[in-house]
């Protein structure tokens, strides 16, 4: 399973509480990470770089090169923001472990990507439900150097901030199957651009296995009608032909697609309920 839940699902759908607390910067804006956290960061990055080789899309790899993430220590947010500002006008915003829908969308609308400044402990090295610093920085920030991806994320934030509660639920599925769990088709096979996959070794291997999940062409209305669960390997992925499709989508009438999806209703889930007594175990 991915091991990650986006902040919008956690805050608005699942009611998840977190035992982690984001670190606060000192007066100069510097966040003090411990030697143990530096080592955890090193181990996470080293493992995942090996895992994504030949599986991550070229756009993501190009973004990683631009970010030039340190291996021996946890980077400072300003190091990441400095690169993002230069290439796409984005920056990172330090947030608590979980934030609500309103703040999430407002930050994206202002080209600020929310990053919780805590890192998983060693005993949760392989699985963590909350989106930690590694997930946000390693999983997502490299793609924010790509103009098409950055434009789509910005538009998504602006639309989400103005949307109703019902509209936001449908928009959340669009985010899930693109920013978190998106795939690209290349002549030599599938490639990953979604941060929820790229920060998870298990899902990285599973997502491009070719024989386990269902792969569907990219269709925003179809996506917004597709339920998902946060705690399993995704049974379905939607595949772009080119990352520029996200730029094109950003300049289309996405909200009319939302209303079309609402009118058509949800597809039948491709997974069993988590618990028959639990309400809202999928979105």
Helix (H, G, I), strand (E, B) or coil at 205: helix
Predicted pLDDT of residue 275: 61
Predicted pLDDT of residue 128: 79
Q: What is the pLDDT of residues 112-145, one digit of tens each?
A: 999 999 999 998 988 777 899 999 999 999 999 9
Mean pLDDT value of segment 227-250? 96
For residue 159, pLDDT over 90 is answered with yes
Predicted pLDDT of residue 17: 54
Predicted pLDDT of residue 223: 98
| Structural contact between residues 64 and 83, judged by C-beta atoms closer than 8 angstroms | no
Q: What is the pLDDT of residues 64-95, one digit of tens each?
A: 999 999 999 999 999 999 999 999 999 999 99
Q: Pick left, alpha or beta for residue 188 (phi over 0 → left; psi -120 to 50 → alpha; otherwise beta).
A: alpha
Q: What is the pLDDT of residues 244-275, one digit of tens each?
A: 999 999 999 999 999 999 999 999 999 887 76
Backbone phi, psi, residue 243, to 5°: -65, -25
Helix, strand and coil percent figures for the chain, each rounded to 5: 50, 10, 40
Query: Given the DSSP bridges, would you call strands 189-192 and 183-186 parallel, antiparallel or unpaired?
Result: antiparallel
Non-local (6+) Cβ contacts of 112 within 8 A are 90, 91, 92, 93
**What is the C-alpha to C-alpha distance for residues 20 and 224, in angstroms, rounded to an integer?**
31
Count Cβ atoms below 10 Å from residue 61 Cβ, excluding itself.
13
For residue 12, pLDDT over 50 is answered with no
Mean pLDDT value of segment 193-200? 96
For residue 276, pLDDT over 80 is answered with no
Q: What is the pLDDT of residues 168-192, one digit of tens each?
A: 999 999 999 999 999 999 999 999 9
Instruction: With cut-offs at 50, 70 and 90, classify the pLDDT of residue 7.
Output: very low
For residue 5, pLDDT over 90 is answered with no
Mean pLDDT value of segment 9-18? 44
For residue 202, pLDDT over 90 is answered with yes
- Which has more confidence, 1 or 72? 72
For residue 280, pLDDT over 80 is answered with no
Report the alpha-carbon angle 208-283-110, nearest 5. Answer: 85
Whole-angstrom CA distances from 268 to 2, 5, 18, 273 are 21, 21, 30, 11
Q: What is the pLDDT of residues 25-67, one digit of tens each?
A: 999 999 999 999 999 999 999 999 999 999 999 999 999 999 9
Predicted pLDDT of residue 283: 59
Count Cβ atoms below 10 Å from residue 124 Cβ, excluding itself.
15
């Amino acid at each position: 399973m991915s091991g990650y839940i986006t902040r919008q699902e956690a805050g608005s759908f699942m009611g998840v509480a977190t035992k982690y607390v984001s670190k606060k910067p000192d007066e100069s804006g510097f966040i003090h990470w411990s030697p143990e956290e530096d080592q955890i960061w090193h181990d996470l990055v080293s493992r995942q770089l090996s895992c994504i080789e030949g599986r991550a899309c070229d756009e993501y790899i190009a973004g990683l090169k631009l970010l030039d993430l340190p291996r021996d220590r946890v980077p400072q947010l300003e190091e990441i923001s400095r690169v993002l500002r230069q290439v796409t006008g984005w920056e990172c915003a330090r947030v608590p472990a979980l934030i609500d829908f309103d703040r999430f969308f407002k930050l994206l609308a202002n080209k600020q990507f929310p990053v919780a400044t805590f890192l998983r402990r060693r005993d949760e090295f392989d699985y963590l439900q909350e989106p930690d610093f590694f997930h946000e920085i390693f999983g997502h920030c490299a793609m924010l150097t790509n103009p098409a991806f950055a434009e789509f994320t910005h538009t998504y934030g602006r639309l989400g901030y103005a949307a109703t509660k019902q509209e936001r639920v449908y928009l959340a599925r669009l985010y899930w199957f693109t920013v978190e769990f998106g795939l690209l088709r290349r002549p030599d096979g599938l490639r990953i651009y979604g941060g929820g996959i790229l920060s998870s070794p298990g899902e990285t291997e599973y997502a491009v296995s070719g024989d386990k999940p269902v792969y569907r062409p990219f269709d925003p209305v179809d996506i917004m009608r597709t339920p998902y669960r946060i705690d399993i390997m995704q049974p379905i992925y939607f595949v772009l032909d080119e990352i520029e499709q996200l730029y094109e989508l950003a300049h289309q009438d996405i909200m009319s697609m939302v209303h079309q999806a609402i009118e058509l209703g949800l597809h039948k889930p491709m997974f069993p309920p988590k618990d028959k007594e639990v309400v809202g175990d999928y979105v």
